[in-house]
Structure 1
Amino acid sequence: MTTVLPPLATGINSSTDPSVLQTLGSEGVSLALWQRTLPEHLIVALDELPVERLPQLRRRVTVRNAATAIHSACDEVGAGSCATLLADVVEDLTAHAVRVLASPVLQLRLDVTDGQPCPKWHVDAVPGRMLCTLRGPGTEFGPIGPDGAPETIQRMPRGWVGVFRGALWPARELAAVLHRSPPREAGGPRLLLVIDPVDDAGTC
């Protein structure tokens, strides 16, 4: 008996218009990229901070309290110089994530890394995930090839926003755009924003 495999969604949509994020649910699309530019003052403020003062966070939030969570994370490490600008950016992105990921509650992370914490090409075990590199080199990505590795490799510029379909995306198609952390030689350290949906049972 022949096994019929589900179709692969390898499409990538990109635009300077944030409405491109809404195309993640379109047939064949596994990655929607908003070609966004961070405010210059935020770039300068983050780049001036020593690594130990980059804010880190892991918290469930709604759009209403996302900014407060960022301010608290900045206060904990003495990163007040970037708190307001960073909070504004994150609050805006959580609003987009709520619509794209269809989840009023989100798991919000600010990760500080050096090196390559996720070297393997993968699809996340979540319905969908929003990524935005706030400092350092961006996430690498590419559509899956016949050998299980990306056919082509691209890197998200700093400030760009990518929403990836995960393995649990509710569609017949399989998410087939892989991603990974950039290699150490790409530079660092990184400050990465990660936003996941939280389901009705309270799990990501």
Structure 2
Amino acid sequence: MRIAARPRAATAINQSFDPRVLGTIAMSGVGAAIWQRDVAPRLLKWLEELPTDHLPRLRERLRPKDAAAAVKAACLTARTPASPERDAFVVEVSDLVQVAAAQTGAVLVDLRLDSVFGQPCPKWHLDAVRARFLCTLRGAGTEFGPAGSDGDVTATHRVPLGCPAMFRGRDWPGEEVSGILHRSPPTENGQCRFLVVVDPVDPIGTC
């Protein structure tokens, strides 16, 4: 009787100051990639001080080139005050969407702007998508780490504020499974996290 081999786990985490590092999750053995970068302190300060009811919220499937218009419309709906910082924010999110799409080859993406309170996803997990791009622009960054044999993470790391991370999901094609799990970080005193989430949409069934 032949025993089926267990799928190989992709446990490497690539990090670089080059945004193209996000595309390396397509390499064998890579479960996650982090783009190390600096965000304008003025923009981060503006987001931190913005009342939570004026933080834009968005869930929309769109072409990457339409992201700026969608984010601007979300700002208007949330009554986000007009300012140079709001304009910079629209450009920032649009640029993140362009990078996420380019590094995954996506023609369409699901874009979310989420305001998160508490710890909505406390368990270590893989998302039910091919890949997920996460960038926290306010509050604590996403926690991640390699999974042990019991399914728990053996060493916890946190994505720095403003740094995008790309994680393989459960629907990643091929034989490898991701050995890098992630979760929402614990928060205190009603802290609000604000993050950009981009999921590439597979071309099958989108035409």
Q: Same fold (TM over 0.5)?
A: yes
Aligned mates of 1:102, 1:17 — CA distance in 2: 17
Aligned residue in 2 for 1:15: 16
1:62–1:94 contact (8 Å) kept in structure 2: no
Identity %: 46
TM-score norm. by structure 1 comes to 0.94
2:136–2:194 contact (8 Å) kept in structure 1: yes
Aligned residue in 1 for 2:129: 126
Is structure 2 residue 149 aligned with structure 1 residue 146? yes
Is structure 2 residue 167 aligned with structure 1 residue 164? yes
Question: 1:132-166: per-residue Cα shift (whole Å, max 9, x none)?
Answer: 00101010000111211111100111101000011
The alignment covers a number of residue pairs equal to 203
Shift of 1:89: 1.2
TM-score norm. by structure 2 comes to 0.93
Q: CA RMSD of the aligned region, Å?
A: 1.6
Aligned residue in 1 for 2:39: 38
What are the equivalent positions in structure 2 for 1:77-116 lying under 5 Å apart? 77-79=78-80, 80-81=82-83, 82-116=85-119
Aligned mates of 1:125, 1:36 — CA distance in 2: 27
Aligned residue in 1 for 2:197: 194
1:11–1:31 contact (8 Å) kept in structure 2: yes
- 4+ aligned runs moved over 3 Å, structure 1: none
Shift of 1:198: 1.6
Structure 1 gap segments, 5+ residues each: none
Structure 2 gap segments, 5+ residues each: none
Aligned residue in 1 for 2:177: 174
Q: SS of the residue aligned with 1:71?
A: helix
Shift of 1:187: 7.0
Aligned residue in 2 for 1:68: 69
